[in-house]
Amino acid sequence: MFWKKYKYDDIKSVEFNELKKRIKIVVIDDEEDSFPIKHMQSLGFTIEYWKEIDINNIKRLEDGNFDLIILDIYGVVNPQLGQDLTGLDILKSLKHRNPKQLIIAFSGSSYEIDKGEFWKLADDFLKKPSTTFETKERLENIINQNYSINTLINNLKMVISRQIQDSNKESDIEKIISKAIITKNGNIDFVKLVRLGVQDTAAITTIVTTIINIMKE
In the chain, what are the domain boundaries?
16-147, 148-215
Rounded to whole angstroms, the Cα distance separating 48 from 38 reads 10
What's the CATH number for 16-147?
3.40.50.2300
pLDDT over 90 at 111, yes or no: no
Q: What is the mean pLDDT of the chain?
A: 90
Q: Which of these, 86, 17, 9, 12, lies nearest to 45 by C-alpha position? A: 17
Per residue in 175-211, pLDDT (tens digit) is: 999 999 998 877 888 999 999 999 889 889 989 989 9
Q: What are phi and psi of 89, to 5 degrees?
A: -65, -40
Residue 17 makes CB contacts below 8 A (sequence gap 6+) with 44
64: left (phi over 0), alpha (psi -120 to 50) or beta: left
Per residue in 126-181, pLDDT (tens digit) is: 888 899 999 999 999 999 999 999 999 999 999 999 999 899 999 999 999 999 99
String of DSSP letters for 121-176 = HSSEEEESS--HHHHHHHHHHHHHHHH-HHHHHHHHHHHHHTT---HHHHHHHHHH
Q: Which of these, 71, 47, 84, lies nearest to 121 by C-alpha position? A: 71
- Residue 217: the pLDDT is 64
Query: How many angstroms separate the Cα of 176 from the Cα of each of 170, 182, 183?
Result: 10, 10, 11
